[in-house]
Structure 1
Amino acid sequence: MFFDPTVVARYTAEDVRQTHTFHDGEAFVGYVADRREGSPMGLAFVHFEAGVNFDFSWPYDELSVVTEGRLTIRTAQGVISAGPGQILNQPRGVPGTFEIEERLRMVCVHHPTFQEAVGVSVEEFGTLSERGEEPDMSAPSRGPEHAGGFFDPTVMQVFDSDDLTDWVTVDEDARAYVGYVADREQGSPMGIAFSRFGQGGVFDLVFPYDEAAVITKGRVTVESSGSSFTVLPGELLYMPANTSAVFRLEEDTEAVGVHHPTFEEAFGHPPHRS
């Protein structure tokens, strides 16, 4: 389906509108949405076959949720590894090397959008690349004054839900909890959180920000604007700001949520505080 920034919807790798393949077809990037579609964040599915290695540095802050496989990332600060259900944070301007150990599937969310960061749309970039005229993809990294803390926006990091010790109880009876990895206070341009929901829970939700959620375990049925659909692991759920939806938890479910603006910008105070 085509991306609609006003509708709560589920997206899969089959819904991408613009694709790029490289490394002899063993690497695939498929954009669901960017600025052109009205999204405040770049949203993409990324697939790599085992054995792909390449150097990179992004002109935006990117969060990748691994849904299948594993990769190693080599940086100036050391070597890290990310696997299913984990978040890989890739701050803008920080170089690294991807080493794909096994068939890899990720959902990636970044801010600003590709068009805002690079100056051309995803489609225009593809045309320029075919002509060997790729735009400059460099960007300054953050200074050392931003370094330190559990979430560090100056280095690449991997986060697992088990790393969190501070969880907000949404509903004790429904076993619903949200744990933030980072928000504005930590130097992130996006709110980043893990969530856990018990089977049988029903929630009527509306957010003051645009949210992209990746289901990593379980399944949830979503009802909004007269439609109903089920979201499975590895799929992307997009929820526009100020648009309500009912969530019915078919199983114990875990997800990673990324939203813009941050919680603090939307509510006036950091998450975990009132």
Structure 2
Amino acid sequence: MPEVTKVTSADALEWYRRDDQDLLLADAIDHRHDAAMTVGFARYGAGESNPWTVSYDEALIVTKGRFSVESGGVVRTAAVGEVIYLRAGTDLVYRAEEESEVVYVSYPHWMPATQASAHAERLAEFAPARPERAG
């Protein structure tokens, strides 16, 4: 991988859908690129949510819409240009207040960290999205 890399959500990425939701994820840079962290994109339809436990530190940068994270009864909502930071071990619910796109940055890599966690079975909720529905 080059020392300087640019990615966009319009790149040819491998998108994954959560169950039958309007919720898509795609890693753009990760351990397969010999990078120290994962950078990816999440697209949520209005009102879509996803309960999760993060096994990694994560920053969420909102690039479209309004996006919330609820944890311990507290809701943090961010708009375009704002960031939500999450610490490893946090039980939460991701939620799109309106149609949203979020850039996520995780350390260590979210996928291997989740695979090694007590929550690994949650990964089965995601399957490759058909190309015509990912864009």
Q: Percent identity?
A: 31
Distance 2:46 2:19 in 1: 12
Aligned partner (choices 155, 164, 174) of residue 12 of structure 2:
164
- Structure 2 counterpart SS, 1:203: strand
- Structure 1 counterpart SS, 2:18: strand
Higher Cα Rg, which structure: 1
The answer on whether the counterparts of 2:71 and 2:91 sit within 8 Å (CA) in structure 1 is yes
Aligned partner (choices 29, 40, 49) of residue 182 of structure 1:
29
TM-score (norm 2): 0.77
Q: Which runs of 5+ in 2 are unaligned?
A: 117-122, 128-135
The answer on whether the counterparts of 2:17 and 2:23 sit within 8 Å (CA) in structure 1 is yes
Q: Which structure would you say has the larger RCO, counting Cα contacts within 8 Å and 6 or more residues apart? A: 2
Distance 2:25 2:56 in 1: 16
Aligned partner (choices 249, 257, 264) of residue 104 of structure 2:
257
Distance 1:225 1:264 in 2: 24
TM-score (norm 1): 0.40
Determine if the alignment matches structure 1 residue 241 to structure 2 residue 88.
yes
Distance 1:245 1:264 in 2: 17
Amino acid at match of 1:251: E
Distance 1:179 1:248 in 2: 17
Tell me the number of residue pairs that the alignment of Structure 1 and Structure 2 aligns. Answer: 118
Determine if the alignment matches structure 1 residue 202 to structure 2 residue 11.
no
Amino acid at match of 1:255: V
Determine if the alignment matches structure 1 residue 223 to structure 2 residue 70.
yes
Distance 2:43 2:57 in 1: 19
Distance 1:175 1:221 in 2: 16
Q: Which runs of 5+ in 1 are unaligned?
A: 1-151
Aligned-residue RMSD, C-alpha: 2.1
What is the deviation of 1:217? 0.3
Distance 1:170 1:160 in 2: 21
Deviations 1:123-173 (A, max 9, x none): xxxxxxxxxxxxxxxxxxxxxxxxxxxxx2x3322111010331011243x
Report the equivalent of 2:40: 193
The answer on whether the counterparts of 2:13 and 2:27 sit within 8 Å (CA) in structure 1 is no
- Structure 2 counterpart SS, 1:185: helix
Deviations 1:192-251 (A, max 9, x none): 111100011122121211111100001123221221231111111111112111233211
